[in-house]
């Protein structure tokens, strides 16, 4: 009986680096709502709240400091 030695054909992948830097819709919505409430619930700031929340979470995920 002969043995066949196999070598790995692919390199190990980095563990979720790209995936963890992408916040979910729910994460952004929660943070945007918190920001809106903290500012006194002003009218017409939903887009600003969303964009700020998205940027904050992306930065936190990239740094490993996301607080959820």
Give per-residue pLDDT as tens, 1-50. 666 665 555 544 444 444 457 999 999 999 999 999 999 999 999 999 99
- How far apart CA 43 and CA 38 sit, in angstroms, is 13
Q: Is 64 exposed, middle or buried (0-12, 13-18, 19+ CB in 10 A)?
A: exposed
Q: What is the CA radius of gyration of the chain?
A: 21
Taking the C-alpha atoms of residue 9 and residue 15, their distance in angstroms, rounded to an integer, is 18
| Distance between CA atoms of residues 59 and 48, nearest Å | 17
Entry pTM: 0.67
């Amino acid at each position: 009986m002969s043995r066949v030695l196999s070598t790995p054909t692919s390199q190990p992948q980095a563990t979720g680096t790209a995936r963890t830097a992408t916040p979910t819709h729910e994460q952004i919505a929660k943070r945007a709502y918190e920001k809106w409430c903290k500012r006194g619930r002003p009218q017409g700031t939903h887009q600003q709240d969303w964009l700020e929340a998205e940027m904050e979470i992306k930065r936190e995920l990239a740094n490993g400091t996301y607080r959820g």
